[in-house]
């Protein structure tokens, strides 16, 4: 079953561009992983330091396998830039319910 992981992340106003750059690096890695379908990187137009990283996967198992291979330098940079832990939501296609 398809799997979507949605992250909401926030940084300080002065680090917004650095966070976008770091998440672009992460997106470039994730889209090459087996089972990755698509990655959306968006920001809130009214709060540009709030970014949304949305991963679309063929399965949750593919997502978990990729998570074990994340580039440590990118993840360290991400951790340094965030003002709080990301809000994480797992999503399922509403058409698949029932």
Segment 12-46, tens digit of pLDDT: 999 999 999 999 999 999 999 999 999 999 999 99
Its pTM stands at 0.92
- Residue 98, pLDDT > 60, answer no
User: Domains (ranges, CATH) in the chain?
Assistant: 9-92 (3.30.70.100)
Cα–Cα distance, 80 to 71 (Å, whole number):
15
Chain centroid, CA 85 distance in Å:
12
Q: How confident is the model at residue 93 (pLDDT cuts 50, 70, 90)?
A: confident
């Amino acid at each position: 079953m398809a799997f979507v992981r949605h992250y909401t992340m926030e940084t300080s106003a002065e680090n917004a561009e650095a966070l976008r750059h770091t998440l672009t690096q992460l997106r470039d890695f994730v889209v090459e992983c087996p089972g990755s379908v698509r990655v959306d990187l968006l920001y809130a137009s009214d709060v540009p330091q709030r970014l949304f990283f949305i991963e679309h996967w063929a399965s949750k198992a593919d997502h978990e396998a990729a998570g074990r291979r994340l580039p440590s330098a990118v993840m360290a940079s991400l951790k340094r830039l965030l003002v709080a832990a990301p809000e994480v939501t797992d999503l399922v296609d509403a058409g698949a319910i029932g």
